[in-house]
Amino acid sequence: MIKNSLFPIAILLFLSWQDSSAQSGICNPDIIIPDEFESNEFDHDGVTIPYRLLTPEIPDSNQKLPLIVALHGAENFGSPRDRFLMCAGSYALGWLAPSLQKKYPSYVIAPHLYDDLFFDGYDGWDEEKPLDFLKRLIDQLLATEKIDPNRIYLTGHSMGGIGTFTVPVKLKDYFAALMPMNTAGGCPEVCEIINNKVYDNLSIWAIHHRNDAANSNVRDVFDQLKSQGKEVYSTHSFGDEIINLKTSRIEELIEEHQRYFHTEYRYSCHSNGIFFCHTSSMDTILRDPLFQKWVFRQHKVDADAIQITSADSTNNYAIHWKAKNPLDSLEVWFRTSAATKWSMLDKIPAGKGSFELVPAVMESDIGQDSKVKLVLLNDTGFTYGFAESDIKKVVTGIPEKHKKRKIFFYPNPASKVIHFKLPDDISGTGLKYKYKVMSTGGAIMQQGEVQENRLDVTELPIGIYLLVLESNTQLFKQRLVLVDPAE
């Protein structure tokens, strides 16, 4: 499984760090750990495991804040307790930056698998003992601190990046977002996790440098996400492809609630030592205000929060849905094709249950590749539900020769009963027709199955309607006028 192929990578990284950390300048014995990053211990079945915890200043005593779980890499894997965070520690320390904490106050926890634990079963974040330790540590913090359980974010560097990808396999439903940094792990192990749908309700922003040895592993992961239909956006480059998204475009993507980002830096790094390429990108990304904004917008997704039940091309391309909480807000987004940007059409109560794309968009803009996306927001404004659907321009498969046919019905204007007459070449086929009588505003006033080529409209008030008649292969639409029978 995952251990067999990723564990040797961690060992090699560990040995490499031991050999070269001194001359590379990555480890700094004079680094000062902020006092507010308090040293603590956790008793895990008689084994003492140290960790650092930042408790933020809470502006509102009733407010619950997010938690950053930061997993160290091989540079701290097996290091003595008194040297923790002295080597490439910004994966955790970066979240303590005063400017970041002022804007996005959050808890930060950094556990340490120190040297004495190395051969006692704590030899990687995806092993049984460390996984159980992480679960119990997070559970303890949830019970004792003011942490929002829907906003727990998992990150890690190098070996901790591997853990960021693999820990959610066992710790299901704990995390809202994953931020792996300079991970040495990748496919086929992580691709298998993707295929098992583990990440379907998680947001991911992976960070790497193109000159870091294992950068291609992360590209494989995002190629696999794309193959599963996920919308993936690379901000800087993707291998030899230079992208360099503008700040304004990344801002748009964040506002669109995009959930999968890949950042591969290209700046020069070898002149500062080989491991500078392996560490500097996490320093860079943690200072990026757009990355910070994206992270702290993430909320645990409820897969059952909203489902699109139908996309009706016969009724102004109406989208129908069911929402678990009708009182929440719903954003309706549309795009013409994969080559165009998403546009938000409206923000409405989720309980409305339907939305007509026309006239919010031009009917001519709705094609075979068009999509609609529904985004559900809770009462605090966080996104927790997504649903997406194709909008087929012709969903009934009408044969070309019948597309312009009209069905004849009489009388029209009518008052009580409508009679139908089918075109000669399709009469007598035994097709069963369903009908809808809709108001000019698109509301369905009456519907059912046509019996004996007649329809009783006695219960409908006088006015102008749209009559829609549909079978498996035929579709007819025509204006219907109902008048007072006394006139």
CATH code of residue 187: 3.40.50.1820
Give the H/E segment covering residue 151.
strand 147-157
C-alpha distances (whole Å) from 296 to each of 58, 178, 208 are 15, 12, 20
Number of structural domains found in the chain: 3
DSSP string, 93-140: HGGG-HHHHHHS--EEEEE---GGGTTTT-SSTTSHHHHHHHHHHHHH
**What percentage of the chain exceeds 70 in pLDDT?**
82
Do residue 359 and residue 253 come from a single domain? Answer: no
Q: How far apart are CA 27 and CA 107, in angstroms?
A: 25
pLDDT in tens, 42-67: 999 999 999 999 999 887 778 999 99
Rg of the chain in Å (alpha carbons): 29
Q: Does residue 265 fall inside a structural domain? A: yes
- The residue from 343, 369, 390 where one domain ends is 390
The Cα 145–Cα 314 span in angstroms is 53
Question: Which residues, at least 6 apart from 430, have a Cβ–Cβ distance to it below 8 Å?
Answer: none
Cα–Cα distance for residue pair 29/47, rounded to 1 Å: 27
Q: Is residue 487 part of a domain?
A: no
Instruction: Say if residue 89 is in the same domain as residue 233.
Output: yes
Tokens encoding 279 = 């560490």
In a domain, 217, yes or no: yes
Tokens representing residue 110 in the block: 């950094």
Higher pLDDT among residues 454 and 93, named by residue:
93
Q: Could you tell me if 204 and 323 lie in one domain?
A: no
Quickly state the pLDDT bin for 77 (edges 50, 70, 90): low
Domain range for 443: 400-482
Confidence grade of residue 276 (pLDDT, cut at 50, 70, 90):
confident
What pLDDT does 79 receive? 64
Q: How far apart are CA 296 and CA 350, in angstroms?
A: 24
Please check whether residues 140 and 160 belong to one and the same domain: yes
pLDDT 10s digits, 112-132: 988 778 778 888 898 999 999
Peptide bond between residue 188 and the one before it cis (omega within 30 degrees of 0): yes
Whether residue 238 sits in one domain with residue 344:
no
Residue 173 lies in a domain: yes
11 in any annotated domain:
yes
Q: Are residues 289 and 328 in the same domain?
A: no
- Which of 176-185, 249-258, 313-322, 338-347 has the weakest average pLDDT? 313-322
Nearest to 189 by CA among 163, 211, 209, 212: 163
Q: What is the pLDDT at residue 441?
A: 58
Mean pLDDT throughout 358-376? 91
Using DSSP, state whether 375 is helix, strand or coil. strand
At 315, the pLDDT band (50, 70, 90 cuts) reads confident
Judgement on whether residues 277 and 367 belong to the same structural domain of the protein: no
Domain end, chosen from 250, 277, 297, is at 297
Q: Kindly state the DSSP code that residue 404 receives in the 8-state scheme.
A: T
pLDDT over 80 (residue 299):
yes
Q: Is 315 in contact with 368 (CB distance < 8 Å)?
A: no
pLDDT: which is higher, 404 or 74: 74
Distances (CA, A) of 270 to 18, 233, 297: 19, 26, 34
**Which amino acid, 99?**
S
What is the model's pLDDT at position 487? 56
Asked whether residue 4 carries a pLDDT value surpassing 60, the answer given is: no
CB < 8 Å & 24+ apart, contacts of 93-96: 93/33, 93/34, 93/37, 94/282, 94/283, 94/286, 94/287, 95/54, 95/68, 95/70, 95/286, 96/34, 96/36, 96/37, 96/54
pLDDT band at 253 (very low <50, low <70, confident <90, very high): very high
Domain final residue pick, 297, 314, 334: 297
Statement to judge: residues 212 and 126 lie in one domain: yes
Residue 10 has pLDDT above 60, yes or no: no
CATH of the domain at 463: 2.60.40.10
Return the structure tokens found at 164.
Answer: 């960021």
Same domain, 34 and 142: yes
Q: Is the pLDDT of residue 83 over 80?
A: no
Summarised one tens digit per residue, pLDDT across range 429-444 is 555 678 888 776 567 8
The CA distances from residue 168 to 104, 133, 149, 159, 268, in Å, are 24, 14, 15, 15, 33
Q: Tell me whether residue 202 is in a domain.
A: yes
Give domain status of residue 154, yes or no. yes
Q: Do residues 348 and 319 lie in contact, with contact meaning Cβ atoms separated by under 8 Å? A: no
Same domain? 257 vs 354: no
Q: Please check whether residues 126 and 244 belong to one and the same domain.
A: yes
Question: Over the chain, what is the mean pLDDT?
Answer: 84
| Residue 193, helix vs strand vs coil | helix
Token pair belonging to 304: 């059952």
- Claim to verify: residue 462 and residue 404 sit in the same structural domain: yes
| Residue 395 within any structural domain of the chain | no
3-state secondary structure of 210: coil
